[in-house]
Structures are given as structure tokens and as C-alpha cells.
Amino acid sequence: MKKWSILVGTLMVISMLLAACGGGGSQTIKVGVVAELTGDIPAVGASCKNAAELAVKEINDAGGLEVAGKKYQVELFIEDNAGKADQSASAAQKLITQQNVVAIVGPNASRYAIPASEIAESSKVMLISPWSTNPDTTFDRPWVFRAAFLDPFQGEVVASLAMELGAQNAAVLFDVGNDYVKGLAEYFKASFEALGGTVSVYEAYNKEDTDFSAVLGKVAAAAPDVIFLPDYYNKNNLIAAQIQEKGIEATLLGADGWDSPELQTELFEGGYFSNHYSPADPRPVVQNFVAAYTANYGAAPDAFATLSYDAAKILLQSISEAGVDDPAAVKDAMSAIQYEGVSGKITFDEFVAAEPNQIALSVARPVSSASLTAASLTLKRCATLSTLRTTLRMFMPSKLPRAETP
């Protein structure tokens, strides 16, 4: 694996930063959220909104965010991008020019985060995407960060797992118009082939496609050991159902886009996907978050909620630690932050290699016993990321995810 770290971290603040909490007498700090509340992945947007609201509620209930010895309430402004790239950009623009937010959390999906990040960068307003794993989101944008690992790392981890499972022949199906999905497909294919495997079927489809009989005919003829489906939960539900109908026997593999209560787990029995955290992690910060989120929203948090919560908390901690109304100072505070998050122990380090990202985030994570060897193989090839692990969850015949062992 290349040295390019896994993620790039986090966010904020505009030239009105603590002007939003200082000079003019205002007693609030304004933070924006751009989420996919409607459109193609509304479950992602709902998790993001819920988690950001919870993070802000916890701060406000404790008396507010302390900045330079004074407490300020945090005010959250939420915009729906409707699952569209152009509305992602316009939502970011509205938050900056009309709501005067000091920073933005979101969007989540890379195809929406990239246009929003262009607006934030040109406005010198910090933006952190909780979940965008495409390197292009932060490339050459010092005001833009992420709270998730990168697709190259994720693709390699899943490819390593496939080899550990004994797979030699793989099929890959992907949405050609989705940067996140297409990138994961490319990285998995490159890694799997570099490890000695063969990708016998590498087929693209369009976002609007619903009938996969033709491409699945090719898959059936190739008889792969594994099928990598890097799309989101809703599209994968459709594909997996048709795989089952055709009687194709292969282990299904995926990425963090699978993580949703709307994933029809009975269609994915025996399959694995990479993820950002484990709800079974016994650390108090994890269990407290899971309990609080469940109490407030009636369901356990998924990875989208976890990353959004961490992104919001990192942003607010950075504002507090900067202690001044200087956007550059807040950015420096973010880069130097040490944050014990739900998704891991998070720090950001300057990355000097000629790679798409300038800040590396190391995250220590639990790994399921079933996938420990595969993850360890990846780590041995990446000396600078010796503390990084990823969560891999397996669907058992009970049709419920098995709890990982930290």
C-alpha cells in the first residue's frame, strides 16, 4: 500500500469565525450541515443530521463551547442537497453567504462533497466531509478535510480479505457515473490483481439501471469466488437479489456504503464489508455514543452517524482550542488536534509525499476475529500506518451482523 494515509481530516472556519461568537456581541457559533436528506441515499442524510444535532446538543447542554474562557451556544443550520451535485454547491453557498456559518459538516457522498468543497475552498470556509472517501474531495484544497479513510486503503483491505478467504477469481460491478463507487472498483481491482488474483468480470452500469440480468449472465459464466459490490446499500439490495435469483454462488464483498439499517442482510449472508467503527467496541466513548444516539433516535448508529458525530466534535474542539477569531489559527488547531473519537483515536499529521492528501489521519480500530489475518497482512505492507485497522463485519446465517471482537 502506498504511504498515503487513509484519511484526511477535518474542517472549519471562515473569516467571521469567532466574529460569529465574538466581536459583534453574538453569543452563538454558527455551524452548517449539508446532508442527503432526500434523493438517492436519504438514510445517509438522516444519520448525518441526527448525529450532528446530537453532538451540538451535548455541547449546548453542558453550557456551550468554551472559546478563550467564554462559553458560546452552537447554532446548527441544516441544508438538504436532495442527492444532487448542483444543490450541494448551492447549499454550501447559502450557508456561507446567508447564514454566515463558520464551518460546514458534509456532504457525505463524494460526488456531492466535491462540488461543495469547491465552494468552501474558494470562500476560505472550512468544510469537513464525514464520509467522502474519494481523494479528489480534498486534493489541493487546504480548507477541506474528511473524517474517513480513503478509497485506495479501503479497496486494498477488502482485496486482501478476499485473498485471505482463498479467492482467486473475482467479479466487480460498479456505477460508472459515481466517483466513489468507480474509484473503489478500480482500487479493489488493482490490489486484487497485484496480490495474484484475477478479475474475470469488470462491468459498469448506470445509476438508473434496475435490470442486471445481462451482466449477471457474464458473472455466472465466469463463476467467480467473490463479487465486489462497492455501491450503496439500496443499489446493492437490488443487485444481490438478482444474484440470488440466478443461483450464483459467490461471497459478496463491499465497502462502507453497505452500512445501513436498510441493507437487506438476508441477501448478503456470508458476505463482508469494510466499515469505520464497531458498535461492539467496549471503549466508553463508543458505548456512550451508541446509548445516547439510540435513546434519541430509536435505532443504533451506523457508520454515517458515527463519522458525522466525530466530524462535528472535531470541528468544535478545534474552534475551542484555537481560541481566536483567525481562520488560519483554527485550521492549525485542527491539524494538531488529538481527539478520542467514536471511530478511533484521531490525529492529523502533515503528509509530505506527493499524494492527493496533505493530512493523514491514523485511527486505531477493532477488527473482527474472522478478518484479523487479512487486516494484518495489509498493515505489514504499510509501515507508516502501523496503528490503523479497519472493521469488517460478517453476516451470519442468523441474518444479523455478528458482533466483532475488539
Q: Is the per-residue pLDDT at 120 higher than 50?
A: yes
Residue 26: band (very low, low, confident or very high) from pLDDT cuts 50, 70, 90: low
Domain locations in the chain as residue ranges: 17-149+281-362, 152-275+373-394
pTM of the predicted protein model? 0.72
Question: What is the pLDDT averaged over residues 205-224?
Answer: 97
| Percent of the chain clearing pLDDT 70 (strictly above) | 79
At residue 278 the predicted structure's pLDDT band, cuts being 50, 70 and 90, is confident
pLDDT of residue 115 exceeding 80:
yes
310-322: per-residue pLDDT in tens?
999 999 999 999 9
CATH number for the segment(s) 17-149+281-362: 3.40.50.2300
Of the pLDDT bands very low, low, confident and very high (cuts 50, 70, 90), residue 153 is confident
Torsion 201-168-263-259 (CA) sign: negative
What pLDDT was estimated at residue 4? 31
Domains 17-149+281-362 and 152-275+373-394 share a fold: yes
In 223-302, alpha helices (H): 233-245, 284-297
Beta bridge partners of 65: 72
> Looking at per-residue confidence, does 114 or 339 come out higher?
114
**Whole-number Å distance between alpha carbons of 144 and 121:** 7
pLDDT, residue 309, reads: 98
Higher-confidence residue of 62 and 140: namely 62
Q: Is 47 helix (H, G, I), strand (E, B) or coil?
A: helix
Structure-model confidence comparison of residues 223 and 3, the more confident one: 223
Question: Binning pLDDT at 50, 70 and 90, where does residue 348 land?
Answer: low
pLDDT value of position 363: 27
Confidence of residue 117 (pLDDT cuts 50, 70, 90): very high
User: Is the model's pLDDT at 391 over the cut of 70?
Assistant: no
Q: Which CATH architecture has domain 152-275+373-394?
A: 3-Layer(aba) Sandwich (3.40)
Angle, CA of 325, 327 and 331, to the nearest 5°: 125
CA angle 282, 373, 254 (to 5 degrees): 80
- 157 or 172: which leads in pLDDT: 172
Sheet with 338-341, strands from edge to edge, namely 338-341, 344-350, 359-362
Backbone angles phi, psi at 373, to 5 degrees: -65, -45
